[in-house]
Amino acid sequence: MRDFIEQFGSKAVNTFKNVSGFCVFCLKCLREFLQGSFFNRAAFDILVMQIFFTAYQLLNFFVVLSAVFGSIFIGIIFQTVKSFGLVQYLGNIVMGVVVLEFSPLITVVLLALRSSSAVNSEIAVMKVNREIDALESFGIDPVVYLFLPRIISFVISVTILSSLFAIIVLFSGFVFSSIIFEMSAGIFSEMITKSISVFDIIILYMKTIAFGFFISVIPLYNGWKTQYRPTDIPVSVLHGMMGVFMSIVFVEVVSLVARFLLNSL
Amino acid sequence: MSETGLKARAAAIRDEQRAGFVSPDIPLLSNLSVYDNISLVPRYLTTEKDESIRAEIGKLLDLLKISDSINKKTFQLDSETLFKVKLLRALMLKESVTVIDRPFIMLNTAADIKPVYAILETLDISDRRVIFLDFEWNKSKY
């Protein structure tokens, strides 16, 4: 019994330390953001480079993926809507399912797989090689120089790429609606605009910002907390990616609850 | 001095005043070029213009005859060039002490301290205080 209590207590203390450490890290990043530290020219260069790596380098692949995946998905939805006779709900289904839920989710999963893992391992390697210590010894704050530009670039990238995905899917929707339902562009756009509220747009962008924040700050924190041992790098990436997955689920659930509550008002 | 003593002394200097460290424990950033490693300190800490920083670094690299390495990454450099780049980065902290920590670990082919003195003389930094930290058993090399 005593062993059980000790183990439980030890786990509780470790979890509390991890959570409080993470919160302190987030607050420090937020404070530097509010102080505008990323306008430091060395940090700003990193910000531009990170947007290039995270969003621009992915752009061609992302456009093709959105067009192919989005078209197939919207084609299946339209066929289902037609077979169940739910044409009057087409706008709600396209906006509610595809644009507000599917676009940010696909974008964030793609960016998490591609960039979050890269950032986690990059920072962990820098920590193990004592490169972060080197920065600190010269008076360069790693939060300002390394972490903040990456967080901002992820937020910008997720928001822009989600919006791009939504635009491409809506265009596919227009093409499919004209083929399957022989719907004109005017009717399609009217149906889409009627089925979306300002709250939906606000929640969509708050969600993309939250996604961008969590899929960058969690890997950064895990990379930064890596011990000075090369064997800790895969452990750090493992914990980071698990955290990223949990955060995606968490943000998705919170946004769904928020949408449900706001729509039922 | 023992290794623990060296680390304590290094920490004391760091706490006392801003010091530019040239140390085997303080590496260059592996994803940056030689120029970016050296220019990072003034670009982050000062408001000096980029053109002026580039000109100054270009001049120092010319003096040390390593200007062909300006765009190279650290893994492409030999130990002597790495040492020179670390020294230039440390010198970018203006009006500070420069600490050269265990130089024979970084310059593992040097028989004595003369090559380091030669580099310091080339750079003409007589106004700068340079502190060497090393093990007791390397005393004869100075």
Q: Considering only CA atoms, which of A66, A76, A93 is closest in space to residue A167?
A: A66
Position B1 scores a pLDDT of 54
Q: Considering only CA atoms, which of A261, A131, A157, A263 is closest in space to residue A209?
A: A157
Calculate how close chain A gets to B69, using CA atoms only, in Å.
Answer: 20
Q: Which residues in B lie closer than 8 A to residue A143 (C-beta atoms)?
A: none
The answer to whether the beta carbons of residues A148 and A29 sit under 8 Å apart is yes
Interchain contact, A138 vs B41, CB within 8 Å: yes
Q: Which residues in B lie closer than 8 A to residue A135 (C-beta atoms)?
A: 29
Encode A233-251: b = buried (16+ Cβ within 10 Å), e = exposed: beebbebbbebbeebbeeb
Position A49 scores a pLDDT of 93
Q: Does B106 touch chain A (CB under 8 A)?
A: no
A-chain residue closest to B20, CA distance: A138
Position B73 scores a pLDDT of 93
For residue A27, tell me if it sits in a domain: no
Position B14 scores a pLDDT of 55
Sheet with B130-133, strands from edge to edge, namely B19-22, B97-101, B130-133
Helix (H, G, I), strand (E, B), or coil: what is residue A234? Answer: helix
Q: Which residues in B lie closer than 8 A to residue A126 (C-beta atoms)?
A: 29
DSSP B133: E
Calculate how close chain B gets to A226, using CA atoms only, in Å.
Answer: 17
Q: Which residues in B lie closer than 8 A to residue A41 (C-beta atoms)?
A: 43-44, 50
Residues sharing a CB contact under 8 Å with residue B95, sequence separation 6 or more, in sequence order: none
What percent of chain B clears pLDDT 70, i.e. is strictly above it? 86
Position B111 scores a pLDDT of 78
Domain span at B91? 3-141
Interchain contact, A129 vs B26, CB within 8 Å: no
Position A182 scores a pLDDT of 82
Mean per-residue pLDDT pooled into runs of 10, chain A (265 residues): 88 91 93 89 93 92 90 86 85 86 93 94 95 91 94 96 92 85 84 85 92 96 93 94 96 90 79
Model confidence pLDDT, tens digit, residues B38-84: 999 999 988 889 999 999 999 999 999 998 999 999 999 998 999 99
Encode B50-68: b = buried (16+ Cβ within 10 Å), e = exposed: eeebeebbeebbeebebee
Calculate how close chain B gets to A100, using CA atoms only, in Å.
Answer: 38
Position A232 scores a pLDDT of 93
Residue A258: alpha-carbon gap to chain centroid: 18
Position A25 scores a pLDDT of 94
A-chain residue closest to B94, CA distance: A138
Interchain contact, A130 vs B27, CB within 8 Å: yes
Q: Look at chain B and report how many structural domains it folds into.
A: 1
Encode A141-161: b = buried (16+ Cβ within 10 Å), e = exposed: bbbbbbbbbbbbbbbbbbbbb
The residue to which tokens 């030689």 are assigned: B34
- Per-residue pLDDT band for B10 (boundaries 50, 70, 90) equals low
Residue B3 has pLDDT above 70, yes or no: no
B-chain residue closest to A38, CA distance: B44
Stated as kind and residue range, the H or E segment containing B123 is helix B114-123
Position B6 scores a pLDDT of 60
Q: Considering only CA atoms, which of A163, A156, A162, A159 is closest in space to residue A52?
A: A156
Model confidence pLDDT, tens digit, residues A102-117: 899 999 999 999 999 9
Encode A195-221: b = buried (16+ Cβ within 10 Å), e = exposed: bbeeebeebbeebbbbbbbbbbbbbbb
For residue A15, tell me if it sits in a domain: no
Q: Does B27 touch chain A (CB under 8 A)?
A: yes
Residue B32 has pLDDT above 90, yes or no: yes
Interchain contact, A137 vs B29, CB within 8 Å: no
Position B7 scores a pLDDT of 63
Interchain contact, B28 vs A134, CB within 8 Å: yes
Position A263 scores a pLDDT of 77
Rounded to an integer, the average pLDDT of B6-31 is 74
Model confidence pLDDT, tens digit, residues B85-129: 999 999 988 767 888 989 888 988 877 888 888 898 888 887 788
Within 10 angstroms of residue B115's Cβ, the number of other Cβ atoms is 15
The answer to whether the beta carbons of residues B118 and B80 sit under 8 Å apart is no
Where does residue B137 rank: exposed (0-12), middle (13-18), buried (19+ CB within 10 A)? exposed
Q: Look at chain A and report how many structural domains it folds into.
A: 1
Where does residue A78 rank: exposed (0-12), middle (13-18), buried (19+ CB within 10 A)? buried
Separation between Cα atoms, residue A163 and residue A166, nearest integer Å: 5
- CATH of residue B26's domain is 3.40.50.300
Domain span at A167? 40-263
Extract the tokens encoding A165: 């995905």
The answer to whether the beta carbons of residues B56 and A157 sit under 8 Å apart is no
A-chain residue closest to B29, CA distance: A131
Residue B2 has pLDDT above 90, yes or no: no
Interchain contact, A138 vs B29, CB within 8 Å: no
